[in-house]
Amino acid sequence: MSEQDKSSSPRGQSLFSVIGSVAASMFGVQSSKKHNEDFKQGKITTYLAVGAVATVLFILTIWGLVHLVLGIVQPS
């Protein structure tokens, strides 16, 4: 099997690869090579699930930081 055949064969991506791709996309630093690889080899449902979880975690982190800062600035 040639090198070109290996790169064009469909294969699944690991969960860590999907998480890395979603994180890079959220920060806007995804390379075009990795972006193309994600579209060719990834499953949309996996990316949607990881993206939804990452978005919820991001929102909860911001919410927690705001409450922490407000608690320091305005003690009860």
Report pLDDT digits (tens) over 14-63: 889 999 999 998 888 888 888 888 888 888 899 999 999 999 999 999 99
Domain map of the chain by residue range?
12-73
Q: Residues 3-21: what's their mean pLDDT?
A: 68
Res 47: pLDDT: 92
Res 11: pLDDT: 60
State the Cα–Cα distance between residues 69 and 74, nearest whole angstrom: 8
Res 9: pLDDT: 41
